[in-house]
Amino acid sequence: MQFQESRKAAVPERWEPLGDLELATERMRRLLEQTFGQLPATVGWVPLVDIEEQDDAYVVEAEIPGAKRDDVDIELVGNELIVSGEIKERERKGILRRSTRRVGAFEYRVILPENVDRDGIDASLDDGVVTVRIPKAQQAQRRRIDVKSK
């Protein structure tokens, strides 16, 4: 039994080059899977990530749906933050006819600025989103200076 997937393409309001690249990567992955079967877990994938700069910290949020705390490793090597792990495919009782969920090894790497407090980094996992908060070093925090009149 073959399943056909159809999606209506909405006209984007603005060009999103990274979105186009991700779409092309996903299409290539599907083509390879159709040609050679399921790809091995060692191929890996990169989670979707937001990085926010706040006055006192950088916040990295990575989407890892279905991840449990034990599935995720977070390391700081030099100035490189590495979020990695593996999502195992769950055992099924029936025949899997279609699968588009991401499973297997994942990894995301980002180089952090020099001005971070390495000892203050903390991480949490909530609803499939890993949040890593990296505090800025005291000397690097933004400070507002009031202008006085004479």
Q: Are 86 and 70 in contact (CB under 8 A)?
A: no
The 3-state DSSP class for residue 10 equals coil
Q: Mind listing the pLDDT tens digit for each residue in 123-146?
A: 999 999 999 999 998 876 677 788
Query: What residues in the chain have per-residue pLDDT under 50?
Result: 1, 41-42
Structure tokens at 48: 């979707």
0.75 surpassed by pTM: no
